[in-house]
Amino acid sequence: MEEKAKASEEDLKVKLQEMERKAADNYDKYVRAVAELDNYKKRAVREKADAIRYGNENLLRDILPLVDNMDRAMEHACNSEDFEAFKKGLQMLQEQLLGCLQKHGVKQIEAVGKDFDPHVHEAMVQVESKEHEESKVVGEFERGYLLNGRLLRPSKVSVCRRLKKEDQQNCEVAKEEEAKNN
């Protein structure tokens, strides 16, 4: 029985050593995984900072030719008296800039003649009119833009407000009285 107990004791020691080795291996794996996760977090922060710092690089590269063309236009304007050519050059610059913006997901909001939409239009004034329908955009002070379908800047617009019957009658009476006085 003593031999059985010694053999059992030996087996237990071997198993204990094996388990200690497995525990050490698992701890080593754990330490490596924690270090790897820490390195990943640092790398992600660094990549995010770089993306913010250099995220506009492609847009800026596309704008640089516009700057060059503006320099040429200014040089030409100083040396020329041809206003029409200067005007055409400015129009070409505008088209080039709008093309560049469109390439990067910027789209103009069409406003005039459309129904007023508070999601993309900002009403600056209301205009009383018989010629336009109620809540139609009749003028645009500043064009609005979307960036990949998301509002970048609303259009600043004037919106039609139909004259009420009373207001129309009062206006007509006032015009008639004015005509009689003249």
Q: Which CATH architecture has domain 105-182?
A: Roll (2.30)
First and final C-alpha spacing in the chain = 137
Looking at residue 42, its pLDDT comes to: 95
Pair 143, 155: CB distance under 8 Å: yes
The confidence score (pLDDT) of residue 133 equals: 79
Statement: residue 170 has pLDDT above 60 = no
Higher pLDDT, residue 39 or 168: 39
Per DSSP, the three-state class of 81 is coil
Q: Which residue has the higher pLDDT, 168 or 160?
A: 160
Per residue in 67-124, pLDDT (tens digit) is 888 888 877 777 777 778 778 888 888 888 888 888 888 898 888 888 888 898 988 8
CA 136, 138, 144: angle at the middle one, nearest 5? 90
Q: Map out the domains of the chain as residue ranges.
A: 105-182
pLDDT: which is higher, 181 or 66: 66
Q: Degrees (nearest 5) of the Cα angle 47, 48, 50?
A: 65
- pLDDT over 80 at 172, yes or no: no
More confident residue, 107 or 3: 107
Instruction: Give residue 21's pLDDT.
Output: 95
Taking residues 151-174, report their average pLDDT.
Answer: 72
Q: What rounded mean pLDDT belongs to the chain? A: 83
> For residues 9 and 22, what is the distance between their CA atoms, to the nearest angstrom?
20
- For residue 173, is pLDDT > 60? no
pLDDT digits (tens, 9 = 90+) for 28-44: 999 999 999 999 999 99
